[in-house]
Amino acid sequence: MISKSVLLPAYLILLLCVSKACMAYSYGPIDVISPAEKNELWINPGLLSYHFDQSKNFNAVNYGAGFEYKFSSVASLTAGTFYNSNYHQSNYIGAYWQPIAIGPVNIGLVAGGFNGYSSNNNGGWFPAVLPAFTVEGKWIGLNLIVIPTIGDRVSGSLSFQFKFKVFD
């Protein structure tokens, strides 16, 4: 069962994507980002995670190393490794798609593959599509990834990924 605290952001993204407001370039504080070519490389030292179920002994400091190559104003590729919430090494590869902005926050999804979680595919690779929110300055940025609770297979969290631009 999906946690109620994750449903609101998911519903907001769905509402934005199917509403007529998305058909326009801008509607009040909501903008549809025009795709434009970019050439930026970001690095990150892993994640900080706030787990919805605080009664379990999850690792909240998920240190590691990751890269994000932003080739468009609305899309980027990402890959990396980190020490996950279950105290095991995990790897990921994926793509961000964030075509909507509300003020400085870009909104969309990250889709990709992960491994290292024994409750999913015996620690092997599995797919995931997650809501993602990003704020970027000239050299520093933050990705917020919403991970829903799915029964006893996935323990939900808000994962904060600080990132640093290497070049643009």
φ/ψ (deg, to 5) at 163: -140, 155
- Cβ within 8 Å of residue 12, ≥6 positions away: none
CA–CA separation, 108 vs 142, rounded Å? 14
Q: What is the pLDDT of residues 110-122, one digit of tens each?
A: 999 999 998 888 9
Which pair of structure tokens corresponds to residue 146?
């919403």
The answer to which of 84-88, 104-108, 149-153, 163-167 has the lowest mean pLDDT is 149-153
Count the Cβ atoms, other than its own, within 10 Å of residue 126: 16
Whether the predicted pLDDT of 7 surpasses 60: no
Residue 55: what pLDDT?
92
The answer to which of 22-31, 52-61, 62-71, 75-84 has the lowest mean pLDDT is 22-31
Residue 20: what pLDDT?
40
Q: Is the dihedral of CA 71, 34, 10, 48 positive or negative?
A: positive
Q: What is the pLDDT of residues 70-84, one digit of tens each?
A: 999 999 999 999 999
Q: What is the pLDDT of residues 85-117, one digit of tens each?
A: 999 999 999 999 999 999 999 999 999 999 999
